[in-house]
Structure 1
Amino acid sequence: MDKPVILITGALTGIGRATAFAFAESGARLVVSGRREAEGRALEAELRQRGADAVFIRADVRHDDEVRDLVDAAVARFGRIDAAVNNAGTEGQPGSILDQSAESYAATFDTNVLGTLLSLKHELRVMQAQKHGSIVNVSSTYGHEGAAYASVYAGSKHAVEGITKSAALEVASSGVRVNAVAPGPTDTGMLERFTGTAERKAALAASVPLGRVGQPNDIARAITFLASDAASFVTGQIVTVDGGKTAG
């Protein structure tokens, strides 16, 4: 097969951005997506400067028509989608359950859960017709653990993991695989907002058995493995990448 075609949502920062560059280094053709036009165009230019055949397409994963158009545009440009990474997400409004509202719930679940569901819906529409493809959703270790003061976020990631397993079972016979990665503490803007201070971030790093927080590239490498033919017998799995934090 010639160079694979990879679609990445939430590609503008953090894990999504690192994943885009990891795939670019392997020679993949890329469709990168996010909500901010200027940053998306800058990412497209940077990927192209590194020799990648890449295009930015603006889309908000909370809207069915925008996700449909994103997937259709990717197919129109490259003829197929070999792998998709559903990374778009938000931490929402961390804090006590007592401080949550219908609005804070919707703001988190619309991106993290509905966005993942809509992305799967349209990616699988294409991949089932192709009879091949790999999808990697991005969850969190909070997707299989409780998290004080992050109940809505944790709940949304529990949902992502349930959807991942259910979708994998639904489409396995068509030759399409669906998995998720669950990052532990990873050095992104989200972690900075969660911890709030350098001292809290250092304390969190000290709690990780490997003695550090993860880097976006650590997660990107796990994603590229799951998306590849090297993981051809892996589906319906949640792969935790957390430096051993949840091991004991």
Structure 2
Amino acid sequence: MNATVSPANHLLTAVHRRRLREVWRSAGWPCQDLVEVELLFLGLLERVLQASGHETLRVTEAGIAVLAETLQRNRARRDAHEQLVERVAREMTRAGRLAWRGLSVRAKVDEGWVMAMPDVFSIRHTTVEAYLEPIVHEIKVQRSDLLSDLRRAAKRAAYLQLSSECWYVLAEGIARADEIPPECGVLVARGDGLEVERAAPRRPMRMPFHLWMALARATPLEGWRDEDAQAHLGAQPSLPGE
């Protein structure tokens, strides 16, 4: 199967792979566009003449191999991403912070609103509002994903509206710190640790009401003990990126 996939694999883009999935999930009605032409040429799709006289498309064995390879690759990418998200979130809770993963919240950017979903959002566990210091951590394990994200200025602006610090957490080797906009800090995952490549600028920030409501509707990560949290009430954070 691998020998069947290899010749076509280097020619495939995300658009081709998406179309293959769409044909696999559908009745196979042709679009008759250039993406379809290329998939037919590569032998990943084939035309089938139905008894009614209509022509449909079917994913070939080579196409199924590409779908399986794509699934495995995406699953490995998600697993690596989720493992790093989990590591960062746990570091925040160990520092006496409350952390949320996959929080969905609106942020005001220019004259409109943007939906933001930071990988990790955390605040200090404190009874003093001025000491909350909300922090966003955005996790990237693939260079292509990072470069795509960096082109989304509105997304980054939304994170800055929601936090007093914004950090990119990068898998080792996917980027240099100077490729990340200067308004964001850079942490690099090396081994079992997170190393500061560049500290995030810290800005004074008061959490808006809609952010409070989003936190009230969400569930923070478990993992810190009450007696540990009490030691951090009103204390300044000490770990990088907290």
Q: Scaled by the length of structure 1, what TM-score is found?
A: 0.25
Structure having the higher strand fraction is 2
Structure having the higher helix fraction is 1
Higher relative contact order (CA 8 A, sep 6+): 1
| Greater radius of gyration (CA) | 2
